[in-house]
Amino acid sequence: MVTVTHYVVASAALFCIGLAGVMSRRNVLMILLCVELMLNAANLLFVAYSKAWGNLHGQMIVFFVITVAAAEVTVGLAIAILMMRQRNTLDADAVQSMKW
């Protein structure tokens, strides 16, 4: 029998893999991909609890999260193109002029 807890643990594992990726990769594109993983882990959690509570509001949240993620990827990839054009690198550590 698959309960909600199974889905929560699967979602937590997916989120943690994404977190490890964000912390260990330095390529801007890879960081964006790992952020997508983390967003999808949150989506899975919302849908699982939506089923457990028997209403559809969690699924509505996922709908908006997917939309916002699409917008975020668009702007993020534009920034990556700009970074490649101006600095000729995709290393996140190379862009540090706003670092305190």
Partner 1 sequence: MAETVFFYIFTSLMLAAAIAVVRHRSPMYSVLSLLVVMFCLSGLFVMLGAYFLAAIQVLLYAGAVLVLFLYVLMLLNLSPDSLNRANVFIQPVAGITAAGLLFVALCRVATQSPLPPTPTVAQPGTIEALGRLLFRDYLLPFELTSFLILAAIIGAVTLAKGKSPS
Question: DSSP state, 54?
Answer: T
What is the C-alpha separation between 96 and 70, in angstroms, rounded? 26
We find the least distance from the C-beta atom of residue 25 to partner 1, in angstroms, to be: 7
Closer to partner 1 by Cβ: residue 43 or 100? 43
We find the least distance from the C-beta atom of residue 47 to partner 1, in angstroms, to be: 5
We find the least distance from the C-beta atom of residue 99 to partner 1, in angstroms, to be: 16
Closer to partner 1 by Cβ: residue 58 or 100? 58
Q: What b/e readout covers 9-25, taking b as 16+ CB neighbours within 10 angstroms?
A: eebeebbeebeebbeee
Structural contact between residues 49 and 60, judged by C-beta atoms closer than 8 angstroms = no
Closer to partner 1 by Cβ: residue 30 or 95? 30
